[in-house]
Amino acid sequence: MHIVDGALSAPVLISGALLAIVGIFIGLKKMDYDRLPLVGVLASVFFIASYIHLPLGFSSVHLIMNGLLGILLGWVAFPALLVALLLQVIFFGFGGLLVLGVNTLNIALPAVIMYYLCYQGIRHESAKVAAIWGAIGGAGAIIITSMLVAFSLALSGESFVLAAKAVLPAHIPIMVLEGFVSYAAVYLIHTVKPEFIFKESI
């Protein structure tokens, strides 16, 4: 769900970059460096999942997995997603450097929101109940990300309003798919590696 360089107005770019910097700063402050391997693995999940793109105007449709990152990493999702997005810009030209701040904000902020909404749920003693909350986190993050992308486009001029209106409907299948994937991932982690979930949040 990358927005490309040239699609957004300067005020939107600047505001998004400043807010992303705040999120990255908080994420780095909360980083538990003993869990860097987990952070790296989850950033790689995002990197790989969002590799295949289907163009949609100034955006694109693809798996994101930011909900899963959010419910497991909290604020650390900001620096993790920044690194993954930057690598995608460098190696594949996805998005762009000027819009990197907005893309980071649009993808990482929903991850953090889902962290707070699903924090207790994914720590339920039942793996199935936890997995349901994982599905809510995965699907919910896509909804919020779609809304933020649409909002970013709409704020940049009337010529982008049509593209903004198309973002959320186009991502409904992705929302459903990410809900299923996040359900399975949380269930597996809860069963095999519960310390990734029950360890104090980062």
Tell me, yes or no, whether 96 lies in a domain. Answer: yes
Query: Structurally, how many domains does the chain consist of?
Result: 1
Q: What is the pLDDT of residue 199?
A: 67
Tell me, yes or no, whether 5 lies in a domain. Answer: no
Tell me, yes or no, whether 4 lies in a domain. Answer: no
Tell me, yes or no, whether 25 lies in a domain. Answer: yes
Tell me, yes or no, whether 2 lies in a domain. Answer: no
pLDDT digits (tens, 9 = 90+) for 27-37: 999 998 888 88
pLDDT digits (tens, 9 = 90+) for 74-110: 999 999 999 999 998 988 777 789 999 999 999 999 9
Annotate the chain with DSSP letters as a single string. -PPPTTSS-HHHHHHHHHHHHHHHHHHHHH--GGGHHHHHHHHHHHHHHTSS-EEETTEEE----HHHHHHHHGGGHHHHHHHHHHHHHHHH--S-STTHHHHHHHHHHHHHHHHHHHTTGGGSSSHHHHHHHHHHHHHHHHHHHHHHHHHHHHHT-GGGHHHHHHHHHHTHHHHHHHHHHHHHHHHHHHHH-THHHHSPP-
Q: What is the pLDDT of residue 95?
A: 78
Tell me, yes or no, whether 39 lies in a domain. Answer: yes
Domain CATH number, residue 57 = 1.10.1760.20
Tell me, yes or no, whether 172 lies in a domain. Answer: yes
pLDDT digits (tens, 9 = 90+) for 56-70: 555 556 788 999 999
Q: What is the pLDDT of residue 139?
A: 95
Structural domain containing residue 82: 10-198
Tell me, yes or no, whether 3 lies in a domain. Answer: no
